[in-house]
Amino acid sequence: MPSRPTRPSARCGSGCSRPGVTDPLLVRTDAGDVLGREQGGLRSWRAIPYAAPPVGALRLRAPQPVTPWPEALEAFEFGSAAPQSGRFGRHDGGTDEDCLTLNVLAPSARSINPRPVMVFIHGGAYSGGSASSRLYRGERLVRNGHVVYVSLNYRLGALGYLDFGEYSTPERTFDSNLGLRDQVAALEWVQRNIAAFGGDPDAVTVFGESSGANAVTTLMCTPAARGLFARAIAQSPPAASAYGPDRSRLWAAEFLELLGGSDDPVTALTTASAETLTRAGDALAARGADEAPGTRAFAPLVDGEFLPRHPLDAFADGHQHRVPLIIGTNAREGTMFPRFLDIIPTDPVRIEKMFAETDPVLKARILAAYPGYPDRAAAVQLGGDVTFWEPSVLVAQAHAEVAPTYDYRYDFAPRLLRATGFGATHGTELLAVFDAADLPLGRGATVLGGRKGLRAVASIMQSHWLNFARHGEPRPTWPRYTAERRETLVVDTVARVEYDPDAERRRAWIGYRHRR
């Protein structure tokens, strides 16, 4: 356990005291004390372990409880991100299998009442990303909303999202749905400990983007997550990305072939380095993008137990957790993928393969909804829609039948994104949610103009997100979504409500079934 002792005599949670000791930066968790730092009116605690390091005998096993630490843990620096390739950038703390940590950020000012809690799950195609990203640190959310913010790392790639259960032996077991189990373990930690940081365990909002949003919609259908959060926000969720045992077995076998471990899977999986596993996983993902477009090998497993049903089926039948939900996508989700992360069906070859098992009449109807197809722009729009927008519509219309649901479409694009053909592409709403106009990424996106507009959009989105975290509903200007009217908040420098936007495209997809 990477702990460094400090102030072992001062063992008291935030806001409490003992004779002669008052230290709001020293917090007692159920596994030991953690010491944070204060800067700019915020208190932070970083790299708090929420589960035991999944290394050695715990590689490819369900998360286990941490070993309590006897002296205070200096929670000053970000922990390691999960192993991943360099295409996702560099991360504070580097990468390591010992990655099951979370970060807490809270206002320095005391509060009589416990504060709402916002738990963020990062995206990255379940292959990359980290809670330490400068964009995800949450300072503006905490300052503007007086919330307690939690971000977490979880296992990615083959170590988090492939199922090697059929290769288990009496001596060595391999568990499934490890990344999803990690997220549940982190939310359980929040329930047990967040009150000591000033947070309200009964007012937890879980939110995420891309695969992090898939995590949100999947957690809403995971029995073990029931009661761990009170509301949910899914930003651009590929909500259809969950697969059954047959497809998962095929991917596991292909991975072992790429790893060179088909003859002795147990030895290969337990002794290969994290870097070797990452390279084989990247090769598997690249192969799958062409051979089975519309699917992603790294995704939750519908195993009949931890995740009993496919999330789209659970939503359709009303078996999800009935918490208030914000869900939405960006106007041009697909445009960034061919240039930066070529994993979705954004070209005619992949799209034709994706439709191989689709009724020809339905296929023709869908293609007709994209004028100009097979031109590049139409193909890219279709790929973004089938991956993110179409399944989010299915989730929204189903969830609206059982719980308050709020739908949005993000349209804002500064001049640089418009000039380069990206528009309001995948992930750009994060600049508004985290109020990043003055961060390097925000300044880069607005180098040709639009920073004032980004600040305006950030004000709109943060006001809704924070009101939702506090009260379970956005501000009154955003009406609830219904299947009859399909009320949608269109987010731009001036937000507006539209009814059933992109209705023709929506109707064209009715009856389409994603590969599972």
The residues carrying an active-site annotation are 210, 333, 426
* Ranges assigned E (strand) in 251-350: 325-330
CA distance linking residue 330 with residue 59, whole number of Å:
37
In this structure, the strands spanning 199-209 and 148-152 are: unpaired
- Residue 324's alpha-carbon distances to 321, 411, 471, 480, in angstroms, are 9, 23, 10, 10
Contact partners, residue 354, CB within 8 Å, separation at least 6? 293, 294, 345, 386, 515
- Which one, of 512, 244, 233, lies nearest residue 399 by Cα? 233
Please spell the DSSP secondary structure of 420-482, one letter per residue: TT--S-TTTHHHHHTT-TTSHHHHHHTTTS-HHHHHHHHHHHHHHHHHHHHHSS--TTSPPP-
Note whether 386 and 467 are within 8 A (CB): no
- Which one, of 183, 216, 166, 165, lies nearest residue 63 by Cα? 183
Helix (H) or strand (E) holding 234: strand 231-235
Q: Enumerate the H helices of 65-150 as residue ranges.
A: 139-145
- Which one, of 256, 370, 242, 265, lies nearest residue 311 by Cα? 242
Angle between helices 211-219 and 178-193 (to 10 degrees): 70
CB atoms within 10 A of CB 227: 14
Note whether 205 and 118 are within 8 A (CB): yes
Note whether 384 and 465 are within 8 A (CB): no
CA distance linking residue 113 with residue 325, whole number of Å:
24
Helix (H) or strand (E) holding 304: none
Note whether 277 and 252 are within 8 A (CB): no
User: In this structure, is the dihedral angle defined by the CA atoms of residues 172, 175, 178 and 184, taken in order, positive or negative?
Assistant: negative
- Residue 143's alpha-carbon distances to 113, 435, 466, 504, in angstroms, are 17, 11, 11, 41
